[in-house]
Structure 1
Amino acid sequence: MCGRYAATKDPAALAAEFDALDATEDHAPATDYNVAPTKDVVAVVQRHPRDDEGEPDPSTTVRSLRVMRWGLIPSWAKNMSIGARMINARAETAATTSAFRTSVAKRRCLVPADGWYEWKRDGKVKQPFFMTRPDGHSIAMAGLWTVWRDPAHEDAPRVVSAAVLTTDAVGQLSEIHDRMPKLLTPDLWEAWLDPDIEDVTELLATPPSPELVSSLELRPVSTKVNNVRNNGPELLEREEDKADLTLFDE
């Protein structure tokens, strides 16, 4: 699963990394070492640009950074509180689940992150780990997004929200938790984001890249991350004395 992650890069850096336009304007969230559900996050989308009358141009697409609320609020929801329970969508069932199936076909995104946190249980103790790329590149979590308006108010503003897709953990990650975010390598970004592709069954079924997973650093970190009020670079610092050094021994 994915319930917390870190996002510390500014929009300009993300725009360059994901070959996208920065459309966050002045709404981009601040550097966040402890991103939690219902917070605003940056996502990458690819859409047909619209003219002054709102008509899309089918001949081209534009990839851009957008700000979304983490926790997908289905268009049919009576209120936005349901979003707090929909931060993740299972890749195996999202295409047939009422809350996510339209987004699977028409509104897919990437959620950039420095890495994500997961907790390994050892008896009554839960040790947090931070999964990240040692080379400093962002990881791209496959996501879904949608637009919701409060049905009780005709002039209610749009709320754009997103969920992170998860899949079975593989390789060394399965030693910590049985689920992981669905990570997409750059060669898959175009197909995943293409708004004209509705059938992504093959992409949903594609397992995480073994090379990417094996390259990840699984870093034991402080339990300070357990409290969402804690937010600073110290959350990412390695705490070697907390690690089970035999965790991945054959």
Structure 2
Amino acid sequence: MCGRLNIIADPLAQLVSETLGIEFWTTTNHDVRPTQSLSVVSASSNHSFEQTALGWGVQPAWSSKLLINAKSETVASKSTFKYGFAHSPVVVPCSGWYEWSTQQGVKQKFLFEGQSPVLYMAGVVVDGNVVTLTRSPTEQCSHYHHRMPLILHHDQITPWVLGTIDERAHLLNVLPDEEFIISNAEPPAKPSAQMSLF
């Protein structure tokens, strides 16, 4: 799930900068794919926010596939992800994400957007790259896919990125407090069969 992102730099960069008090920038890309660079928000050495550019997805030595997602239910305990959860949490600001869903017998691509121009996806850093987190879907999203990104409200970014492990753990089951705007999108090539979507 969530194997493509939509990023619209204006007004996303300005809103993230204003919300988090940093100079955040990114470039518009309506079809961000795994292995491409993402602008993420992480903790700096002086325990404040900073922007970092990281590749999306990691391929551990034990896996033949690229891992781009980690389940929120197991991210704190699975050996591949638990260090990143404990020490390197990040948020990935984006404008939306895409899902493929079969509707009336036809496979279609749908764009999921928030009521605000910015969505904050929870992620963790693994081997110098970012892995985004997924959770069970809301009722609205369950009609399209059995998983969805772990979306944080802007006031949950501080406890996620700068907080304690317990504060992060409390956010692993957080539900979005708003409905998403869901629209049809042009289908690009199908996600690679070599990609593992946790």
TM-score (norm 2): 0.84
Unaligned runs of 5+ in 2: 192-198
1:130 lines up with 2:111 in the alignment: yes
Q: Match of 1:226, as an amino acid?
A: A
- Matched positions, count: 189
Q: 2:113·2:182 contact (CA, 8 Å) conserved in 1? A: yes
Cα drift, residue 222 of structure 1? 1.6
Q: In 2, distance between residues paired with 1:91 and 1:227?
A: 25
Higher gyration radius (CA): 1
Aligned partner of 2:96 among 110, 115, 118: 115
Listed as ranges, the matches of 1:234-245 within 5 Å are none
**Letter of the structure 1 residue corresponding to residue 150 of structure 2:** K
Structure 2 letter corresponding to 1:68: L
The match for 1:197 among 151, 164, 170 is: 164
Q: 1:12 to 1:177 in 2, by over 3 A?
A: closer
1:44 equivalent to 2:41? Answer yes
Matched residues in 1 for 2:183 and 2:104: separation? 20
Identify the match of residue 183 of structure 2 among 219, 227, 239: 219
Deviation at 1:227, TM superposition (A): 6.3
> Which residue of structure 2 aligns with residue 89 of structure 1?
70
Q: Match for 2:45: what amino acid?
A: H
Asked if residue 139 in structure 1 is aligned to residue 119 in structure 2, the reply is yes
Mapping 1:176-187, distance limit 5 Å? 176-187=144-155
Cα RMSD, aligned residues only: 2.5
Identity value in percent: 29
* Greater strand proportion: 2
Q: Greater helix share, 1 or 2?
A: 1
CA gap of 1:161–1:22, structure 2 versus 1, over 3 A, is farther
Per-residue CA deviations over 1:3-25 (Å, capped at 9, x if unaligned) read: 1011121685254144143477x
Q: Secondary structure at the match of 1:96?
A: coil
Q: Residue 31 in 1 paired to residue 33 in 2?
A: no
- Superposed CA deviations along residues 74-113 of structure 1, whole A, max 9, x for unmatched, are 5xx48xx86x621000000111111100011111000111
Structure 1 pair 73/64, CA: closer, same or farther in 2 (3 Å)? farther
Larger RCO (CA under 8 A, 6+ residues apart):
2
Specify the SS of the correspondent of 2:165: coil
Native 8 Å contact 1:15 1:65 kept in 2: no
